[in-house]
DNA sequence: CCCCCCCC
């Protein structure tokens, strides 16, 4: 089969002209920076006449390279691209093409060879080539910042066309003459800080265009100057910011750099058609797949708000700060449900009565008591009933039976059956990970055998008050005293405090189980066990014999505690459930697959 | 220059 490359298109593009949907061949690719989500690739392309490694792949197309879909020798149609002039490359100006959209006409394996005999395109060939189109220059900027530092009028936006702006993906600290045309995806509230280095205030915003995204932060004066002007979803021309390397630790924005607004920064709203600038880019993860992600992952998801809690007010233990939160439960057609925690004003104003669709960008995955949920950060963007295809699809699904669908709640609390949301580990793994050594205590699940129970003193007379489970002191006069309530009662309730040993193939652990967990293991409630203890010592002893060597799925909380100068792990049973062997086998098979790479 | 993002 013959492939028609757009011969001569490269020349036109390198001279700053436009060529509609050129067909080129990919001859090579090279990673030029970043890793993971921040990788960026350069392509060696040929139009059959010339070849040149001036093409950069917009990051959203990286997958095509990584998956091999876009391989060497592929013939592609470049559906959309922008060019940008890079300065300070050591050789003066250098034009690059950023590929925004691509159609693979023929895979590399099918083409299998270099087409034609392209010569390497050089600056010299540029000069010798007829200048068919005037070279687009970066937009003219005012020579100096406006004296009054007013933001808006400094730029005559009519002088700018999208052709004269720079793609966000091309920005770097080595080049300062640029104008971007970008949409504000998110804008934070103003925050103040005070530390050893000083104090101040700031807000940040996340910007995007066709080529990529970037975070911009405004401090102190710039914070005052731009905060009111910047509106989410609007498109602005922005220039003269300082670029620096982004600290990936604090953002999920896909860019190696971030920008800081300076006294010279100019921002003007784009008043013309800005439909070419994309709106927020989501990478929605189906809710059922969120459980597979690691804690602290920042992710996007969309779901219908099935339930919303009341507004809760609480005090942060660490900072003493007053907090307001509301927990909403999101469901989607993947059959998953997850809790999303809203904070502050967002929590206050939220109304879940009409079961809105919620799109969340940049929520953080957290884990508590072994179950996962999402939490909003200051930078998380929530949209209610957004005009997105995914949202309309979900609405239709929910209103036509989805509301009644059985869902697996990833955020189900421990104590009940947690729906298999957290992995089982072994005692040796718990030790390796030094679980329990932190301040907060750690939670883990484990498949283990109860090898010994300390039956003596496993049952005690507890304060009859519902919330108080304190052990009572027998006054020997028919009354029982609770030290905690500072009262005497004629009655009591039985509670359990069961010490036991649990073993698994890698080790064993002394554990403590309180009433609910102990009842689950012993298969009798505390009151019945209390009666046996009083009236049928043999049956009581037998109960603790019978439970020995039974296997449970334990959920533990473990924490290092010091008893008379000796550090010891205190491990409490949060829940103990009988083994569902079908589910257990599914876990083991999954592990074997993961470890061996062998399909079973 | 922030980088905290909370709680059960």
8 A C-beta contact, residue A53 and residue A118: no
Q: What is the largest CA-CA distance in chain A?
A: 111
Please report, rounded to whole angstroms, the spatial distance between the CA atom of protein residue A186 and the C1' atom of nucleotide B2: 17
**Domain stop point among A101, A128, A155:** A128
Q: What is the DSSP letter of A147?
A: T
**Residue A517: inside a domain, yes or no?**
yes
- Examine the domain organization and report whether A177 and A260 are in the same domain: yes
Q: Which residues have a Cβ under 8 Å from the Cβ of A147 and sit 6 or more positions away?
A: none
Please report, rounded to whole angstroms, the spatial distance between the CA atom of protein residue A324 and the C1' atom of nucleotide B6: 9
Please report, rounded to whole angstroms, the spatial distance between the CA atom of protein residue A484 and the C1' atom of nucleotide B4: 37
- Examine the domain organization and report whether A222 and A312 are in the same domain: no
**Domain stop point among A348, A376, A409:** A409
User: Residue with CA nearest B1 C1'?
Assistant: A219
Please report, rounded to whole angstroms, the spatial distance between the CA atom of protein residue A594 and the C1' atom of nucleotide B4: 37
Nearest partner of A486 among A465, A501, A507, A504, judged by Cα? A465
CA gap A446, A439 in Å, rounded: 22
Give buried/exposed letters for A460-474 (b at 16+ CB in 10 A, else e): bbbbbeeeebeebee
- How many contiguous H segments (helices) and E segments (strands) does chain A have? 13, 29
SS3 A188: coil
- Examine the domain organization and report whether A28 and A76 are in the same domain: yes
Q: CA angle at residue A484 from A481 to A488, to 5 degrees?
A: 25
- Examine the domain organization and report whether A208 and A111 are in the same domain: no
SS (H, E, C) A341-356: EEEHHHHHHCCCCCCC
**Residue A417: inside a domain, yes or no?**
no
- Examine the domain organization and report whether A502 and A558 are in the same domain: yes
Q: Which residues have a Cβ under 8 Å from the Cβ of A275 and sit 6 or more positions away?
A: none
A403: phi then psi, degrees, rounded to nearest 5: -60, -30
Structural domain of residue A150, as residue ranges?
A: 144-269
User: Residue with CA nearest B3 C1'?
Assistant: A250
- Examine the domain organization and report whether A39 and A181 are in the same domain: no
* CATH code, domain with A54: 2.40.50.140
8 A C-beta contact, residue A293 and residue A283: no
Using only the alpha carbons of chain A, give its radius of gyration: 32
Q: Which nucleotides of B are covered by protein (CB under 7 A)?
A: 1-8
- Examine the domain organization and report whether A348 and A258 are in the same domain: no
pLDDT for position A178: 92
User: Residue with CA nearest B4 C1'?
Assistant: A193
Q: Residue A586 region, left (φ>0) first, then alpha (ψ -120 to 50), else beta?
A: alpha
Q: How many CA atoms lie within 13 A of A352 on its CB side?
A: 21
**Domain stop point among A128, A157, A180:** A128
- Examine the domain organization and report whether A440 and A339 are in the same domain: no
- Examine the domain organization and report whether A455 and A576 are in the same domain: yes
Nearest partner of A550 among A497, A500, A598, A586, judged by Cα? A500
Whether the model clears a pTM of 0.85, i.e. scores above it, the answer is no
**Residue A72: inside a domain, yes or no?**
yes
Residue with tokens 């405004």: A218
**Residue A278: inside a domain, yes or no?**
no
Give the closest nucleotide to A375 (alpha carbon vs C1'): B5
Number of domains in chain A: 4
Please report, rounded to whole angstroms, the spatial distance between the CA atom of protein residue A318 and the C1' atom of nucleotide B1: 25
- Examine the domain organization and report whether A152 and A251 are in the same domain: yes
**Residue A362: inside a domain, yes or no?**
yes
- Examine the domain organization and report whether A175 and A112 are in the same domain: no
Give the closest nucleotide to A194 (alpha carbon vs C1'): B2
pLDDT in tens, chain A (600 residues): 789 999 999 999 988 888 999 999 999 998 876 555 556 788 999 999 999 988 888 877 888 888 889 999 999 999 988 777 765 455 566 788 888 889 999 999 999 999 999 999 876 555 544 434 333 334 434 333 333 333 333 344 443 444 578 999 989 887 788 999 999 998 888 989 888 888 899 999 999 998 899 999 999 999 999 999 999 989 999 999 999 999 877 777 889 899 999 999 999 999 988 888 988 878 899 999 998 888 888 899 999 999 998 888 888 777 777 889 999 999 999 999 999 999 988 899 999 999 999 999 989 999 887 788 999 988 888 999 998 999 999 999 999 999 988 888 888 754 333 333 467 899 999 998 888 887 777 888 899 999 999 998 899 999 887 667 888 999 999 899 988 888 888 899 999 999 999 999 999 999 999 988 899 899 998 999 999 999 999 999 999 999 999 999 998 989 888 887 888 899 999 888 888 888 888 888 888 887 887 776
Give the closest nucleotide to A296 (alpha carbon vs C1'): B5
- Examine the domain organization and report whether A470 and A564 are in the same domain: yes
**Residue A501: inside a domain, yes or no?**
yes
pLDDT for position A124: 59
Please report, rounded to whole angstroms, the spatial distance between the CA atom of protein residue A245 and the C1' atom of nucleotide B8: 37
**Residue A372: inside a domain, yes or no?**
yes
Please report, rounded to whole angstroms, the spatial distance between the CA atom of protein residue A565 and the C1' atom of nucleotide B6: 33
Checking DSSP bridges between strand A381-384 and strand A235-245, what pairing results, if any?
unpaired
**Residue A415: inside a domain, yes or no?**
no
């Amino acid at each position: 089969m013959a492939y028609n490359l757009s011969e001569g298109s490269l020349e036109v593009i390198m001279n700053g002209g436009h060529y509609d949907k050129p067909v080129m061949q990919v001859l090579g690719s090279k990673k030029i920076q970043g890793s993971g989500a921040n990788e960026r690739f350069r392509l060696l392309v040929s139009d059959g006449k010339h070849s040149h490694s001036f093409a950069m792949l917009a990051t959203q197309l990286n997958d095509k390279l990584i998956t091999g879909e876009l391989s060497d020798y592929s013939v592609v149609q470049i559906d959309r691209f922008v060019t940008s002039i890079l300065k300070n490359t050591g050789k003066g100006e250098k034009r690059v093409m950023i590929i925004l959209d691509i159609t693979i006409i023929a895979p590399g394996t099918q083409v299998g060879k270099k087409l034609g005999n392209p010569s390497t395109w050089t600056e010299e060939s540029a000069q010798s080539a007829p200048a068919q189109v005037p070279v687009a220059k970066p937009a003219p900027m005012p020579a100096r910042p406006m004296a009054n530092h007013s933001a808006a009028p400094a730029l005559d936006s009519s002088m700018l066309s999208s052709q004269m702006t720079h793609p966000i993906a091309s920005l770097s600290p080595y080049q300062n003459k640029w104008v971007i045309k970008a949409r504000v995806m998110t804008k934070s509230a103003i925050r103040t800080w005070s530390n050893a280095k000083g104090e101040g205030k700031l807000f940040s915003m996340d910007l995007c265009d066709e080529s990529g995204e970037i975070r911009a932060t405004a401090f102190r004066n710039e914070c005052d100057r731009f905060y009111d002007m910047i509106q989410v979803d609007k498109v602005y021309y922005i220039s003269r910011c300082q670029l620096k390397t982004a600290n990936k630790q604090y953002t999920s924005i896909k860019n190696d750099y971030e920008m800081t607004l300076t006294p010279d920064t100019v921002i003007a709203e784009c008043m013309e058609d800005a439909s070419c600038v994309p709106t927020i880019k989501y990478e929605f993860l189906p809710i059922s797949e969120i459980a597979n992600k690691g804690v602290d992952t920042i992710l996007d998801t969309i779901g219908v708000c099935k339930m919303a809690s009341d507004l809760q007010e609480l005090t942060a233990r660490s900072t003493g700060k007053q907090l307001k939160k509301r927990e909403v439960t999101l469901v989607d057609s993947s059959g998953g449900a997850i809790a999303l925690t809203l904070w502050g004003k967002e929590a206050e104003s939220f109304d879940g009565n009409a079961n809105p669709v919620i799109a969340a960008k940049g929520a953080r995955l957290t884990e508590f008591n072994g179950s996962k949920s999402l939490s909003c950060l200051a930078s998380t963007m929530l949209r209610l009933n957004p005009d997105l295809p995914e949202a309309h699809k979900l609405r239709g699904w929910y209103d036509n039976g989805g509301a009644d669908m059985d869902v697996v709640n990833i955020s189900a609390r421990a104590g009940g059956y947690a729906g298999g949301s957290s992995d089982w580990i072994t005692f040796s793994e718990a030790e390796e990970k030094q679980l329990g050594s932190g301040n907060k205590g750690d939670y883990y699940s484990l498949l283990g055998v109860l090898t010994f129970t300390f039956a003596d003193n496993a049952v005690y007379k507890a304060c009859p008050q519902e919330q108080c489970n304190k052990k009572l002191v027998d006054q020997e006069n028919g009354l029982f005293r609770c030290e905690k309530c500072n009262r005497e009662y004629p009655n009591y309730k039985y509670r359990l405090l069961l010490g036991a040993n649990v073993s698994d193939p890698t080790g064993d652990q002394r554990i403590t189980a309180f009433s609910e967990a102990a009842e689950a293991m012993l298969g009798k409630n505390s009151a019945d066990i209390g009666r046996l203890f009083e009236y049928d010592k043999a049956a009581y002893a037998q109960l603790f014999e019978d439970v020995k060597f039974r296997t449970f799925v334990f959920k533990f909380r473990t924490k290092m505690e010091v008893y008379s100068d000796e550090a010891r792990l205190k491990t409490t049973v949060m829940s103990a459930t009988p083994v569902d062997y079908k589910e257990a086998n599914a876990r083991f098979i999954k592990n074997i697959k993961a470890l061996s790479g062998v399909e079973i």
